[in-house]
Structure 1
Amino acid sequence: MRPDYVDFHTHLDLYPDLQRAISTCDRRRVATLAVTTTPKAFERNLELSSCSNFVRVGLGLHPQLVADRHHEIELFEKLLPRTRYVGEIGLDRGPAHYRSFELQRSIFARILRACAEDGGKVLSLHSVRATRPVLDMLDEHLPPDRARVVLHWFNGSRSDVRRAVERGCYFSINERMLGSTNGERVLRDIPKDRVLTETDGPFILRGDTPIAPGDVGCAVEMMATLLEIPIEDVRRQILSNLHSLTATL
């Protein structure tokens, strides 16, 4: 079954009802990457999505949780052969997580090396205030021909965008990003064939309500307006980009 939309970074297991969230993505025909924040969450996500036509599950170890959950890296490595998708992983150098940054780097390096060894993975990466360290570590530990990389909610400079594009990275964009001047600039800097949509639900709110699973329509409309191209052209381009991203390495 062909999808109508793409949500390449969402936390379905953080909605009140995971099974209902999966069903919503299926009903809306949204190709969805359900990232996890700890390896212990992965198997339940995998089990409940096993019959889904549109939801795939990423194995994750979120950098904001590394300080408390770094011991789960061995479980991560054990589970890695069971999935093609990895996320949410990366680095966070924000004030609340700066103290764990060196530990984050150690865990991230270990994850990248495991992905390089296993091969054929598609990664969704977090890079808050850490764009250059993330790109540096990709260059050091993960050869481009061993995996594909999607930079989630990317906030880097123009030179960072160029560097990531040259490396072959894709970028997943959400409606909150597109409501900021910097997010608009990032969108315009990215080649059209490297853009995907995401919700990052349930963390993005509309008013006081979390964005619904797979609800990327507003992001598609905002992209079309900012780039001055038809909405349907944007939707089709994103689907084409997903196909290119997930083509066999």
Structure 2
Amino acid sequence: MIDFHCHLDLYPDGLEVARQTNRRNDFTLVVTTSPRAYHATSRVFGRLPRLHVALGLHPEVAVAKAAELDALVGGIRGVRFVGEIGLDGSLPHRDSLPVQERIFKAALGECARQGGRVMSIHSRGAEQKVLQLIALAGPVGVPVLHWFSGALGTLEDACKLGCWFSVGPAMLAGEKGRRLAARMPMDRVLPETDGPFAKIGSAPLMPWQAMDVSHTLAELWSVELQHVRDQLSANLERLLKAGA
């Protein structure tokens, strides 16, 4: 079981959910919203070996957390995973795009200087700009676009740039998400939940539900269910080797 993008620290009773996740999942990427949250989460989850905490600064809180930029850049040297970072061009966050871009560019630049990192990247409403900044930054490592929701043409640009994608049950519940996932390279897709924010019905998705995407992906890709499960596991193994 894999969940490549989860806000595990933000669940109610997060420690108990984390313990269950550590038992159920083989690999869970716990993305964080700020360097301060990263350090707090790392202390709490540090003894759970199947949880991997990423250093992030979420674009939605870019203004509120801008003072932590130096901590983000300074911390990249000592981590394997960076996330959640990126840009959000949706209406509630559009005005903060200049601050978001300054933070994202600094993070990408440091990833490149450190020889590359595995990154979980937010791109809602700013997909083309995210790709532009990744391309300008050079060899940043492995950019994994979380819950990509751009146009099909932008998806093709992302594929050409070498991006990976993480998709979840909430994304695949919609027609647009399914249409995008059908066009993603099978060997560059990973499962995610984006819990507890992403939900099915009224219930937050739990980290052990990420692999539920296998059923939908099997239909979209016209392959057997077990083939999808094997493919997702092989993708994670290859990603971890590439980002070692």
Q: Residues 217 and 228 of structure 2 are in contact (CA less than 8 Å); yes or no, is this contact kept in structure 1?
A: yes
- Residues 182 and 217, structure 2, Cα contact 8 Å, conserved in 1: no
State yes or no: 1:175 paired with 2:176: no
Partner SS, residue 39 of structure 2: helix
> What's the CA shift for 1:50?
2.2
**SS state at 2:106 partner:** helix
Structure-2 change in CA distance of 1:57 and 1:82 (3 Å): same
Equivalent-residue separation in structure 2 for 1:209 and 1:226 (angstroms): 25
Task: Find out whether 1:74 has 2:56 as its counterpart.
Answer: no
Cα distance in 2 for partners of 1:13, 1:34 equals 8
Superposition deviation, residue 33 in structure 1: 0.5
Please, which of 136, 156, 160 is the counterpart of residue 154 of structure 2?
A: 160
In the alignment, structure 1 residue 238 sits paired with structure 2 residue 232: yes
Question: Which amino acid in 2 is paired with 1:240?
Answer: A
2:206 paired with 1:205: no
CA distance in 2, matches of 1:248, 1:187: 23
Per the alignment, residue 101 of structure 1 pairs with 97
Cα distance change, pair 113–130 in 1 and its aligned pair in 2 (3 A): same
Matched with 2:182 is 188
Match in the other structure for 2:135: 139
Q: Which runs of 5+ in 1 are unaligned?
A: none
The aligned residue for residue 6 of structure 1 is: 2
- Separation in structure 1 between the aligned mates of residue 236 and residue 177 of structure 2, nearest angstrom: 21
Pairwise CA distance, 1:248: 3.8
CA distance in 2, matches of 1:53, 1:212: 18
SS at match of 1:36: coil
Matching of residue 225 in structure 1 with residue 219 in structure 2: yes
Please give the residue correspondences for 1:38-53 in structure 2 after superposition, counting only pairs within 5 Å: 38-53=34-49
Instruction: Give the stretch that moved more between structures: 45-54 or 87-96.
Output: 45-54
Identity %: 37
The answer as to whether partners of 2:170 and 2:200 remain within 8 angstroms in 1 is: no
Return the TM-score normalized by structure 1. 0.93
Decide which moves more: 156-165 or 187-196.
Answer: 156-165
**Aligned partners of 2:2 and 2:211 also within 8 Å:** no
**How far apart are the structure 1 equivalents of 2:174 and 2:202?**
19
Amino acid at match of 2:235: N
Q: How many residues align?
A: 243
Once the two structures are superposed, residues 170-207 of structure 1 have per-residue CA deviations (whole angstroms, 9 ceiling, x without a partner) of: 10001111111211111111111011100000011232
Equivalent residue for 1:64? 60
Q: Deviations over 1:5-58 (max 9, x none)?
A: 211000000012232222122211231110000110111221233222321011
Structure 2 Cα separation of the partners of residues 243 and 187 of structure 1:
20
Give 5+ residue unaligned stretches, structure 2. none
Amino acid paired to 1:21? V
Cα deviations by residue, 1:98-129 (Å, 9 ceiling, x for unpaired): 11111111111111111111123100000011
Secondary structure at the aligned position of 1:43 is classed as helix
Distance 2:36 2:49 in 1: 23
CA contact under 8 A between 2:169 and 2:200: conserved in structure 1?
no
Task: Give the equivalent residue in structure 2 for 1:150.
Answer: 144
The aligned residue for residue 25 of structure 2 is: 29
Letter in 1 for 2:24: R
User: How does the TM-score come out when normalised to structure 2?
Assistant: 0.95
Task: Spell out structure 1 runs of 4+ moving beyond 4 A.
Answer: none
